Amino acid sequence: MSHVLLPVFALVRRADLAEVIGSALAAKAAGAGARVIAGRLGRPVETVRGWLRRFTSRAEVVRRYFTVLLVDAGVDPAPPGPARTVFADAVSAVVGAWWSVMSRWPGVGKVSPWLVACAVSGGILLAPSWPSKMINTSRL
């Protein structure tokens, strides 16, 4: 078994950057279909469908995780209102958490919501399964 440290811009088991995948997720939340998104990004339709399917299967877990982060990190947090789908709710929670983190640490605003999402999730945003409890190994 080997262990590899991922850079903050990479998601586990994905060749594309977190920002590329995040832009696909945001486009889907806004109502675009896989073919349109794939065309915009210059990626194969099946690759994009895979991202969207995986995120859909994790949307509720992602929504909860990033909503907690949004509330915990925000100076004056304002959770997003309900969107038209669970998928869109999860994307809104990711972006809302980014805003909260940015309000607490302004330098973070220089990176995209998707880099923050990748960093705080440890790169597992689209992993086959999320651990029941995230472990922070940088603290005692």
pLDDT tens for 9-47 read 666 666 677 889 899 999 999 999 999 999 999 999 999
For residue 5, being part of any structural domain is answered with: no
How high is the pLDDT of residue 77? 80
Count how many domains the chain has.
Answer: 1
For residue 8, being part of any structural domain is answered with: no
For residue 76, being part of any structural domain is answered with: yes
Contact 96, 108 (CB under 8 A): no
For 78, list phi and psi in degrees, rounded to 5: -130, 95
For residue 33, being part of any structural domain is answered with: yes
How high is the pLDDT of residue 108? 73
Note the pLDDT tens digit of each residue in 66-116.
Answer: 999 999 988 888 777 888 899 999 999 999 999 998 888 887 768 889 888
How high is the pLDDT of residue 12? 63
Contact 12, 126 (CB under 8 A): yes
Among 101, 71, 95, residue whose Cα is nearest residue 83:
95
For residue 58, being part of any structural domain is answered with: yes
